[in-house]
Structure formats: structure tokens, C-alpha cells
Amino acid sequence: MKPLILITNDDGVEAPGIKALTGVAREFGDVVVMAPRNNASCLSHSLTTQRPLRVYDVTKEEGLEVYCCDGTPADCVKLAVPQFCTRKPDLVLSGINHGSNSSINVLYSGTMGAAIEASVLGLNAIGFSLLSHNHQTDLTPCIPYARQIIGHALEHGLPEFVSLNVNIPHISADKIKGIRVCHEAKAQWLDSFEQRIDPRGQRYWWLTGKFVCDNPEEDSDEWALTNGYVSVVPVNADFTAYKAIESLKQLE
């Protein structure tokens, strides 16, 4: 039986990134797409608990079923696996996100929230992101790397409770030097809110800020991306800081 690949994203079912990723996935097996109906960026791992979800049929053809719903990316995975997949998916993909999810952006990312959820469900999962927010950006430089990493995951599987956070630099295909397996770079968002006054004299605040990552280490994702590599960071769904346990034992 062909592999079954479930795909979601956080830019919405109509985004060019998910269509490109669906094209690659179909080379490997049957595909089910369940994606947010609209943009669902920055929703991290959030779930919809206060209202039910609606699902909308988009297209159905040989080897491909596309649905969208009014939930978050993590909802899409949770809902699609038991309800819309006829068998257990061999792989869950999220993206291709329009914008970086490197470094600490994995914390906020709906794309990676979906991938982490899949890993918690015991599934192999990969999130892909391109370092351009422009939906018109040419996605073809991403394709060979998506193909290689998907092929690897289907052949070898991924470690338990681990998903992959793949970021692709926004440069022409011939400038990309290859793949680097990395850790998250330490970084910060600075100056993160801008205060404004509305026409009625009331204050309100826009989230803004500047991503700062000074002197990233050579084995970090920011270094890899800055130097023309595709970065692959394995992401742990167990958030325990094991190294910190010993020093806290005096609390007992």
C-alpha cells in the first residue's frame, strides 16, 4: 500500500506553500490535506475548545483529498488523523510556511504546533518554512530539499516524540549550499509593542519588534540560514529541562 501523507499549514488552505508541498508529497503516496480555512499564523500549539469545528470539502481526486476547517493547525492534525484519514498517516507535513520559523520562532509557530502535535500522536512529522513572507515568492528552490527530507523520513522514520523544523533560505536555488542539521539559535525579539492613540483618545498596542540574533553559533539554525544552508532542527515534544532537575532538588 502507498504511504499516506497528511498535510496542514498555518497560512490557510489556499496558500501557495501548501500547494507546492502537496505536489511533492504526491510523488510519494496518497495525500490528505486538512488546513485552516484562513490565515492562522502565530497560534502556536493552541486548540479550539470553546466551540465546535466545521469542515469544508475543497477537492477530491485519485490519491488526493483536500479539506479545510475553522480550527488551528494543531486542531487540523488532531481532527484529521482519526476522522479523515482511512489509515494511520506514515508522515505528517506542515507548510511550506511563508516566513521563517527558525530559532525561538518555533515557540509561536502554528506550522510547528501542528508538527509537534503529530509527533505527540506518535507520527513522523516535518514542518517546512521559507524565509519570505511574500506569497508570490518562487517556491521551486524548496522542492528538491522537501523531496530529500520527506524521502528520508519515509524510509528511516524519525526518533520518537521528535519532529523536524526545516527552514529554507530565500535565495536562488544555485546559491543554496545544502542541508545542515542544527540546534535552535538563541535569539530575542526586541521592542515588542508600539503604542498608538485611536480617534477617541484611547490607547492601543500593536505587536511589533525586531528579531535579534547576534553571532549565532556555527551549529545553529540562524548560522546555517545566514550562510546559505537549509536548516533542519529536531524538535522535542518533551519540554522537560532535564539538566535543570538536579539543581532544583533542594526544593524537595
Among 45, 51, 107, residue whose Cα is nearest residue 76: 45
Report the nearest approach of its own copies to the CB of residue 36 (Å). 13
Residue whose CB is less far from its own copies, 63 or 212: 212
Neighbour-count burial of 215, counting CB atoms closer than 10 A to its CB (0-12 exposed, 13-18 middle, 19+ buried): exposed
Report the nearest approach of its own copies to the CB of residue 115 (Å). 11
Residue whose CB is less far from its own copies, 103 or 132: 103
Among 46, 109, 52, residue whose Cα is nearest residue 74: 46
Residues 6 or more apart from 246 whose CB is under 8 A from it?
A: none
Residue whose CB is less far from its own copies, 4 or 232: 232
Neighbour-count burial of 156, counting CB atoms closer than 10 A to its CB (0-12 exposed, 13-18 middle, 19+ buried): exposed
Residue whose CB is less far from its own copies, 104 or 143: 104
Residue whose CB is less far from its own copies, 121 or 138: 121
Residues 6 or more apart from 143 whose CB is under 8 A from it?
A: 20, 23, 24
Phi/psi at 55 (5° precision): -120, 140
Contact present, 69 and 84 (Cβ < 8 Å): no
Report the nearest approach of its own copies to the CB of residue 68 (Å). 13
Report the nearest approach of its own copies to the CB of residue 142 (Å). 15
Report the nearest approach of its own copies to the CB of residue 26 (Å). 22
